[in-house]
Amino acid sequence: MEPNADHMSIWGLISSASLVVQLVMLTLVAASVTSWVLIFQRGNLLRAAKRGLDGFEERFWSGVDLSKLYRQAGSNPDPDSGAEQIFRAGFKEFSRLRQQPGVDPDAVMDGVARAMRVAISREEEKLEQGLPFLATVGSTSPYIGLFGTVWGIMNSFLGLAQVQQATLATVAPGIAEALIATAIGLFAAIPAVIAYNRFSARGELLIGRYYTFADEFQAILHRKVHASDE
């Protein structure tokens, strides 16, 4: 019997697919939707982090007094500015150690370096949130879709054993509905891979700038602590 147009539509093929293939499709659609939510969230976070870094560096290099900048950052903190968090951690530790009598300048700088490394690690964790999920979706979705396709084609050929005369019209619907699983798998994987590579590169760029800022800030504090001891 020739398949009708409704049965050969995308929704008709999906609704007539076997339960296993439908579960595969549903899993891939859920992974794709979750990936797109993460893509928008990560994109907004990275843009906000870059704006925060650019804005704070501009304030930092404007010649403002560091104590005044620290008070301003404490009274009106910007949670999206990783450089501000690093600055606050380093200057807080610097002020705390400088207030203790008899602390060696090198010990002060070691404490500042440790505090800023911890702050950078926290910002790094924030930038990398969601990336493992995107990597997993990008690497496994094609295989999950291929599993659904293989299962659907296998069922189609098993069904041919019950038919007296196999024609293209009897084989085509089963193969078509099975191939939809692979198509959905690619639809889920391709954006996830692109987003993962893009966000990884942008995150590494920001982290590199954080380390550069921390080194420059540490050099300023190094000159400050040794000048005060002369």
Grade residue 157 by pLDDT with cuts at 50, 70 and 90. Answer: confident
Residue 64 has pLDDT above 70, yes or no: yes
Helix (H, G, I), strand (E, B) or coil at 64: coil
Instruction: Write down the pLDDT at residue 179.
Output: 82
User: Is 91 a member of any domain?
Assistant: yes
> Is the per-residue pLDDT at 136 higher than 60?
yes
Write the pLDDT tens digit of every residue in 171-220. Answer: 666 677 778 888 899 999 999 999 999 999 999 999 999 999 999 999 99
Cα separation of 158 and 170, whole Å? 12
Q: Which amino acid is at 223?
A: R
Residue 154 in any domain: the answer is yes
Confidence of residue 153 (pLDDT cuts 50, 70, 90): confident
In a domain, 1, yes or no: no
Task: Show Cβ contacts of residue 91 under 8 Å, excluding neighbours closer than 6 positions.
Answer: 66, 70, 221
Contact between residue 200 and residue 194 where contact means Cβ atoms under 8 Å apart: no
Quick one: average pLDDT of 112-134? 93
Does residue 18 fall inside a structural domain?
yes
Q: Taking each helix axis from N to C terminus, what angle separates 105-128 and 19-60, rounded to the nearest 10 degrees?
A: 150
Structural tokens at position 127: 């930038």
Look at residue 33 and tell me if it is in a domain: yes
In a domain, 4, yes or no: no
pLDDT at 230 over 80: no
Q: Note the pLDDT of residue 206.
A: 94
Tokens describing residue 177 = 């509905």
pLDDT tier, 125 (very low <50, low <70, confident <90, very high otherwise) = very high
Residue 139 token pair: 């690497």
Q: Alpha-carbon distance 200 to 207, whole Å?
A: 10
Other C-beta atoms within 10 Å of 2: how many?
8
Query: DSSP letters of 157-175?
Result: HHHHTT-SS--HHHHHHHH
State how far the alpha carbon of 130 is from the alpha carbons of 41, 45, 126, 134, 170, in Å.
9, 11, 9, 7, 44
- Residue appearing with tokens 């939809």: 180
Residue 3 lies in a domain: no
Number of domains in the chain: 1
Residue 131 reports pLDDT greater than 50: yes
For residue 77, pLDDT over 60 is answered with: yes
| 79 occurs within a structural domain | yes
Structural domain span for residue 93: 10-229
State how far the Cα of 33 lies from the Cα of 199, in Å rounded to an integer.
18
pLDDT > 60? residue 168 = no
Specify the pLDDT at position 132: 94
Position 8 scores a pLDDT of 54
